[in-house]
Amino acid sequence: MAGRMVVGSAALAGLVRPASESDAAGAHRMLPVLPELSGLLPNRGLRRGSTVAVTAGQPAGNGGTSLVLALLAEASRSGSWCAVVGVPTFGAVAAADLGIALDRLALVPHPGPEWATVVAALIDGVDVVVTTVPKAVTTSVVTRLAARARQRGSVLVPYGEWDGADVTLRVVRGNWEGLGQGRGRLRRREVTISARGRGAAARPKEIRVWLPGDRSARTGARGATPPESAPSVSRRTSLTLVSP
């Protein structure tokens, strides 16, 4: 199971053209997100032309990648094209479990030195473009890509520090659940996500969610069914809101 792997400029151009031509939702200025995340964003969705940065905080690996997947899920499920650039360890199975349509997902795991060119080309024809942020990226490149997203109506989602984003979502902390006294499996993770931005997003917000979540457990309630014994209702998972 994998998304559409993109290698070389010819393949990239071939992807961008059909993505642009088949965008039935192009007239809509807001792409949907999962209900649990909607309260973090102005107008409760991903506004076309905006830049929404995701940062994982410390320690590394505390839920940032899962948050990126969750951010894409509803837009992808609704018909939008998505692209992920510079994430060679991207988990296609995890993406599919959250509802991301792999047949409308482009993967560029190793963009190389032409990173900015690749991202700019995808912005031209893909609804949501996720990209890791190179350490050496300059302010002028950041400004140029954000301006291109505004012009083309794409949502740019930098995964890493990005100055000037309209909204920055940060995983403040995260705790795994499922391990008992030295045994068991990691079942789910409670993460705290903060949002801060500009304009309508200037007021800081924070929520706690189970990530990826368990549909069968009662949310935010003491004495909820333990994840180990909860019945499985679906292979597809979602976020579960714990506290706004």
231: tokens are 């019945």
Do 80 and 30 contact (CB within 8 A), yes or no? no
102: tokens are 């792999």
Among 110, 140, 168, the domain-final residue is 168
80: tokens are 């939008």
Whether residues 31 and 142 fall in one domain: yes
Q: Which of 21-25, 31-35, 187-191, 232-236 has the lowest mean pLDDT?
A: 232-236
Whether residues 91 and 139 fall in one domain: yes
Average pLDDT over residues 186-205: 83
Q: Tokens 């199971």 belong to which residue?
A: 1
Q: With 60 as the cut, is the pLDDT of residue 236 above it?
A: no
Do 141 and 116 contact (CB within 8 A), yes or no? yes
Q: Which of 24-28, 44-48, 77-81, 139-143 has the lowest mean pLDDT?
A: 24-28
Closest alpha carbon to 121 in 223, 47, 15: 15
Amino acid (one-letter) located at 46 = L
Q: With 90 as the cut, is the pLDDT of residue 154 above it?
A: yes
pLDDT digits (tens, 9 = 90+) for 124-138: 989 999 999 998 899
Average pLDDT over residues 181-190: 69
Beta bridge pairs of residue 206: 194
Q: How far apart are the first and last CA of the chain?
A: 35
**Distance (Å, whole) CA 16 – CA 1:** 22
Whether residues 41 and 156 fall in one domain: yes
Q: Kind and range of the H or E element at 240?
A: strand 240-243
Whether residues 128 and 195 fall in one domain: no
Q: How many domains does the chain have?
A: 2
Q: Kind and range of the H or E element at 205?
A: strand 205-211
Whether residues 182 and 236 fall in one domain: yes
Q: With 60 as the cut, is the pLDDT of residue 243 above it?
A: no
**Domain range spanning residue 202?**
172-243
**Distance (Å, whole) CA 8 – CA 108:** 9
pLDDT digits (tens, 9 = 90+) for 66-108: 899 999 999 999 999 999 999 998 888 888 888 899 999 999 9
pTM summary value: 0.77
Q: Residues with Cβ < 8 Å from 48, sequence gap 6 or more?
A: 28, 29, 30, 31, 127, 153, 154, 155
CA neighbours closer than 13 Å in the CB half-sphere of residue 63: 26
DSSP letter at 220? T
Amino acid (one-letter) located at 107 = L
Among 138, 153, 168, the domain-final residue is 168
Whether residues 135 and 196 fall in one domain: no
190: tokens are 């409670």
**Distance (Å, whole) CA 122 – CA 13:** 9
Q: With 80 as the cut, is the pLDDT of residue 151 above it?
A: yes
Whether residues 48 and 125 fall in one domain: yes
Distances (CA, A) of 191 to 85, 110, 144, 224: 24, 29, 32, 18
Average pLDDT over residues 183-188: 68
